[in-house]
Amino acid sequence: MKSIGWRPVLLCLVVFSVSVAMAVAISVPSLSFIKPRTTITYPSAQLGIYSDVGKTSNVTSIDWGTCYIGGSNSKVVYVVDTGNVDEVLSFSVANWNPASASVLQFTTDYNGTVLTPNQMVKVTFILTIPSNAPTGPFSFNIIVNVTGQ
């Protein structure tokens, strides 16, 4: 009885493994991302914006980390009324750099709560990156306005 040997079997296994690996590598989608950075402007005589409830770290800018096209990132801040009157907040954005970054969508979960002196409110900033956003580094300003009540 003649033995077939192990060589043909080994060759088949190697070819199969390589072709499976190539198919997997080809089917992995590439992810586009951006790295925005934000400066926060607010009247410091009337507000304090902090990264923690203990008010140990002032927030003057936000590093959003890596943001993927079609996704969103969020950052939590704590806003304190440091003035002596009740305040209502409003948020806007400006100075998109480059201007093509203005397709990004900035929102908050702030619901218009009136802040009394020394009161703290948690606010989540949300940055949504639509599918038509260009890739690359971007920056913009968040402007926090206060209206006395």
Look up the pTM and report it: 0.73
pLDDT of residue 80: 94
Cα–Cα distance between 122 and 113 in angstroms, integer?
A: 11
Domains within the chain, CATH numbers bracketed: 33-148 (2.60.40)
Residue 120: enclosing H or E segment and its boundaries?
Answer: strand 120-128
pLDDT mean values, one per 10 residues, the chain (149 residues): 45 30 30 60 81 93 86 94 91 89 93 94 94 84 85
Q: 69's torsion region: left (phi>0), alpha (psi -120 to 50) or beta?
A: beta
Residue 17: its pLDDT value, please? Answer: 27
Cis peptide before 98 (omega within 30 of 0): yes
